[in-house]
Amino acid sequence: MTDPVSRTILLLDIEKYSDRDDVEQAYLRRMLYDVTDRALEAAGIDETLRMRADRGDSVMELIDANASVTALLRALLTEVPAQLRAVNRMASRSAQIRLRGVVASGYVAVDRHDGWVGSDLNHACRLLDAALLRAALRERDDDFALCVSDSLYTGVVRHDHPGVPAAGFHRVTVDSKNGPLTAWLHGRVPEISGHRGEDHGDRGAGEVPGGPGDRPAPAATPAAPQNGPQNGPQNGPHQNRPAPAGHRGAPAPGPAFDISGGTVSFGGGYVAGDQHGVSGGQVTGDVVMGSKTERGERP
């Protein structure tokens, strides 16, 4: 095995690759390599400065540490979305290509079987496979979601170089089998169970998290009142994506329940009497939950 050498790590992965047939997979692989090569060329990184490993539905690049990381990020943020738009504009739905990307830095060694070894590479792969990054891609209109490691953000992104706006990246923490990993996601942070977005400054009032699907789902619509407990989010192509922020004074979306006629229904029970406010307020009058009645008391 060679001694570990400092490298820039680039990982790109095709969304829902295994859902396609052999002909479609072969086409998507050609597009993946073409998009990757064009992005690296745009960044001024030729073949002598990089090593490539094929992972079927993804490609891994080890890039010489002397190559410009700023130029690479700039190309990923501009060139890759533009290429994907051009490819998908002329492709059928089954041939649409959408990519997750990770850029990290660290030490990687190459063994005698041409295998790559290094904890920094392992962490980058964990980020690429994170549910948070997958959810972010489902919400993107430009078919590309990018995440960078914490060390790369600290060393490059936070300095706000031209074409790489630091404000566009948001700190997130993702869970992995080796513990929580800190990273920086470009664009809006989705909210999913078990993963924490630590910067929600770009989320408008009244917005709700997006849902899984090949393409961004339509805006959420108010749910009709119904009896029984509300179901949680379900995976599927028709799950609602974030609704736009409402105007001042408009209520934010919330659970589907009716506050009309002085009653609130919860699975067959109801609250009757005076109600003051909804959250943090007070309820007076008779409270009936199922067959049991509790007397509300006025303060």
Domain boundary among 197, 231, 256: 197
Q: What is the DSSP letter of 226?
A: -
How many CB atoms within 10 Å of residue 203? 18
What local confidence, expressed as pLDDT, does residue 216 receive?
A: 41
Output the CA–CA distances (angstroms, integers) from residue 267 to 59, 225, 288, in the order listed. 50, 11, 11
295: three-class secondary structure by DSSP: strand
Q: What is the DSSP letter of 69?
A: H
CA distance 263 to 215: 39
Closest CA to 33 of 80, 67, 89, 88: 80
What local confidence, expressed as pLDDT, does residue 197 receive?
A: 52
Strand ranges, E, within 15-124: 50-54, 58-64, 99-110, 116-117
What local confidence, expressed as pLDDT, does residue 114 receive?
A: 79
130-168, pLDDT tens digit by residue? 999 999 999 988 899 999 999 999 999 999 999 999 999
What local confidence, expressed as pLDDT, does residue 57 receive?
A: 87
Closest CA to 70 of 100, 44, 37: 44
- Assess whether 152 and 279 both reside in one domain: no
Which residues, 6 or more positions from 244, have their beta carbon under 8 angstroms from its beta carbon?
204, 206, 207, 219
Domain boundary among 162, 177, 197: 197
- Assess whether 89 and 183 both reside in one domain: yes
- Assess whether 178 and 270 both reside in one domain: no
Backbone angles phi, psi at 102, to 5 degrees: -135, 135
- Assess whether 138 and 63 both reside in one domain: yes
Is 70 exceeded by the pLDDT of residue 173? yes
Q: Alpha-carbon torsion 128, 133, 134, 136, what sign?
A: negative
185-216, pLDDT tens digit by residue? 999 999 775 545 554 333 332 232 333 334 44
CA distance 178 to 30: 33
22-67, pLDDT tens digit by residue? 999 999 999 999 999 999 999 999 999 999 998 888 999 999 999 9
74-110, pLDDT tens digit by residue? 999 999 999 999 999 988 888 999 999 999 999 999 8
- Assess whether 20 and 158 both reside in one domain: yes
Residue holding tokens 């339509």? 218
- Assess whether 271 and 135 both reside in one domain: no
Cβ-contact 131, 27 below 8 angstroms: no
- Examine residue 13 and state whether it is found in any structural domain, yes or no: yes
Backbone angles phi, psi at 205, to 5 degrees: -60, 135
Is 70 exceeded by the pLDDT of residue 183? yes
Residue 72 is encoded by which pair of tokens?
């690479």
Q: What is the DSSP letter of 114?
A: S
CA distance 92 to 206: 35
Cβ-contact 53, 116 below 8 angstroms: yes
Residue holding tokens 């936070």? 158
Q: Rounded to the nearest 5 degrees, what angle is found at the Cα of 250, between the Cα atoms of 249 and 254?
A: 130
252-297, pLDDT tens digit by residue? 444 444 444 444 444 444 444 444 444 444 445 554 444 444 444 4
Tally the domains of the chain. 2
Is 80 exceeded by the pLDDT of residue 69? yes
Conformation bin of residue 130: beta by default, left when phi > 0, alpha when psi is -120 to 50: beta
What local confidence, expressed as pLDDT, does residue 261 receive?
A: 47
Q: At what angle do helices 69-89 and 22-42 cross, to 10 degrees?
A: 140
What local confidence, expressed as pLDDT, does residue 291 receive?
A: 46
- Examine residue 42 and state whether it is found in any structural domain, yes or no: yes
208-250, pLDDT tens digit by residue? 233 333 444 334 444 444 444 444 444 444 444 444 444 444 4
Output the CA–CA distances (angstroms, integers) from residue 101 to 13, 35, 236, in the order listed. 7, 12, 23
- Assess whether 128 and 271 both reside in one domain: no
- Assess whether 34 and 132 both reside in one domain: yes
Closest CA to 103 of 223, 8, 204: 8
Determine the structural domain holding residue 281 and report its residue range: 264-295
- Assess whether 98 and 16 both reside in one domain: yes
